[in-house]
């Protein structure tokens, strides 16, 4: 395996990949870590990313107690993985499994990265970042800030309380630690009979502070049957980006155009550009009908050649009923970034007779910029009336036009 001089001088980082679950939640006879994703077993894909990571020098795989090593050995043989140092038997819990793997570590190991075998789409950059930060801080986990509203529900299905989501993160793996910190945490948990649902919690209770760093939305855990289909999509997009990166000229600019209109009705709130605008009527639609975000979303999809809003979020799909269009735009942004594109700038015009938008333009531009991950200066929102003509002039509806330009790596369809 190739290493840079710099990495050679550091204590090695070893990954513990836990493929020890029996996958009962997913149903079916084959545990989920052995199901096929893009033609390869999930676990093979996961191991492949760690094999590829320049910051990982060895891998220990934990397999289920009952006859689990066969698949892993097959993967190792078929893919020519060179970093697998040991295949150890899992325990009855994840915690026991990791403990078994820690016991198999060579003494020279300085950093340990514990990863779920069923997170095959972890970007190699994220592994490298976690290892780098763990060398600095001692204990690092990746995560994603919670975007949905959280409710605590009682046993009868009634909401007890809405949980403040500020400061709440969904935790991913790899969770990466100085080896002695993790070993100490596991020893103490064992001595105290404490069991936790991840590695960080064991470290937290020893008083060591654990640093949270931004993870990746691609880094999903394959738990349910549906997850495999979603993972296939992400895998395709990841491949596209990779292909794009290999293109001779890596920077491409493209432009997309979008139009949308919705009917104004009583009894609905008015959302425009991700902001709620005070008005006695609102726009009618399957989602919150934010006509401006829809036009921008369509323009962005058009720019990256990924279809349109209706195809991505069918209006007969209950999943999108009454959903905030901010979620739709965030999803579209990740589709674009999955294809290797980021937004360069947005120009949009909302056409309506009332209400006056002058006071809201600034907050709309700010909200759109935040959703698209660009500076506010790159977002322009304008408003115009229709001089009393047509459906807009009669106040029956609102329309929006948008142009979005993107820059990035062109993806290469059809190449594996």
Q: Which residues bind Mg ion (CB under 5 A)?
A: 260, 294
3-state secondary structure of 117: coil
Between 206 and 349, CB nearer to Mg ion: 349
Return the number of the residue (55 or 325) whose C-beta is nearest Mg ion.
325
How far apart, in whole angstroms, are the C-alpha atoms of residue 18 and residue 119?
A: 10
What's the N-to-C CA distance of the chain in angstroms? 25
**Of 190, 340, 368, residue with least CA distance to 272:** 368
State which residue, 179 or 294, has the beta carbon closest to Mg ion: 294
Q: Which is nearer to Mg ion, 199 or 260 (CB)?
A: 260
Nearest to 164 by CA among 149, 154, 153, 144: 149
130: nearest Cα among 195, 55, 219: 55
Residue whose CB is nearest to Mg ion in the complex, by number: 294
Please, what is the minimum distance in Å from the beta carbon of residue 283 to Mg ion? Answer: 8
Distance from CA of residue 317 to its chain's centroid?
Answer: 22
What is the rounded CA–CA span in Å between residue 327 and residue 11? 42
Cα maximum dimension of the chain = 79
Whole-number minimum distance, CB 332 to Mg ion, in Å? 13
Q: What does the block give as tokens for 144?
A: 């994603």
Least distance CB 348 / Mg ion (angstroms):
14
Residues 310 and 46: their CA atoms lie apart, in Å, by 33
Query: Could you please report the per-residue DSSP string of 258-304?
Result: EEEEEEEEETS-EEETTEEE--SEEEESSS---HHHHHHHHHHHHHT
List the structure tokens of 108: 């020279």
Q: How far is the CB of 399 from Mg ion (least distance, A)?
A: 10
- Please list, in sequence order, all residues whose beta carbon lies within 8 angstroms of the beta carbon of residue 95, skipping any fewer than 6 positions away: 186, 189, 195, 196, 202
Judged by CB, which is closer to Mg ion: 201, or 400? 400
**Closest approach of Mg ion to the CB of residue 401, in Å:** 13
CB nearer to Mg ion: pick between 68 and 397: 397
Q: Could you tell me the smallest distance in angstroms from the CB atom of residue 402 to Mg ion?
A: 12
Which of 116, 260 has the CB closer to Mg ion? 260
We find the least distance from the C-beta atom of residue 237 to Mg ion, in angstroms, to be 24
């Amino acid at each position: 395996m190739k290493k840079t001089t710099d990495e050679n001088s550091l204590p090695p980082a070893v990954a513990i990949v836990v493929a020890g679950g029996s996958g009962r939640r997913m149903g079916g006879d084959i545990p989920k870590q052995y199901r096929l994703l893009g033609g390869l077993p999930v676990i093979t894909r996961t191991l492949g990313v760690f094999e590829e990571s320049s910051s990982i020098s060895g891998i220990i795989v934990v397999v289920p107690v009952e006859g689990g090593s066969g698949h892993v050995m097959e993967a190792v043989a078929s893919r020519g993985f060179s970093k697998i140092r040991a295949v150890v038997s899992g325990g009855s819990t994840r915690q026991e499994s990791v403990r078994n793997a820690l016991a198999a570590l060579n003494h020279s190991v300085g950093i340990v990265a514990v990863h779920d075998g069923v997170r095959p789409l972890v970007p190699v950059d994220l592994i490298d970042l976690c290892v780098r930060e763990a060398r600095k801080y001692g204990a690092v986990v990746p995560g994603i800030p919670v975007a949905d509203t959280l409710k605590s529900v009682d046993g009868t299905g009634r909401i007890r309380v809405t949980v403040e989501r500020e400061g709440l993160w969904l935790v991913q793996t790899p969770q990466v630690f100085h080896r002695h910190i993790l070993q100490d945490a596991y020893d103490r948990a064992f001595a105290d009979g404490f069991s936790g649902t991840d590695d960080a919690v064991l470290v937290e209770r020893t008083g060591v502070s654990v640093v949270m760093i931004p993870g990746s939305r691609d880094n999903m855990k394959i738990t349910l049957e549906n997850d495999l289909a979603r993972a296939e999509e992400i895998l395709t997009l990841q491949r596209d980006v990779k292909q794009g990166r290999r293109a001779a000229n890596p920077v491409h600019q493209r432009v997309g155009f979008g139009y949308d209109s919705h009917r104004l009705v009583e009894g609905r709130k008015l959302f425009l550009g991700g902001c709620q605008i005070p008005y006695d009527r609102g726009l009618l639609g399957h989602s919150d009908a934010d006509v401006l975000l829809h036009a921008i979303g369509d323009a962005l999809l058009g720019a990256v050649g990924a279809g349109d809003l209706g195809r991505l979020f069918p209006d007969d799909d209950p999943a999108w009923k009454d959903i905030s269009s901010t979620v739709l735009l965030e999803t579209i942004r990740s589709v674009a970034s999955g294809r290797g594109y980021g937004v360069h700038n947005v120009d949009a015009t909302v056409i309506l007779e009332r209400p006056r938008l002058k006071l809201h333009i600034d907050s709309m531009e700010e909200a759109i910029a935040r959703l698209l991950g660009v500076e506010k200066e790159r977002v322009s929102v304008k408003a115009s009336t229709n001089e009393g003509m047509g459906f807009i002039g009669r106040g029956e509806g609102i329309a929006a036009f948008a142009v979005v330009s993107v820059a990035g790596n062109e993806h290469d369809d059809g190449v594996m």
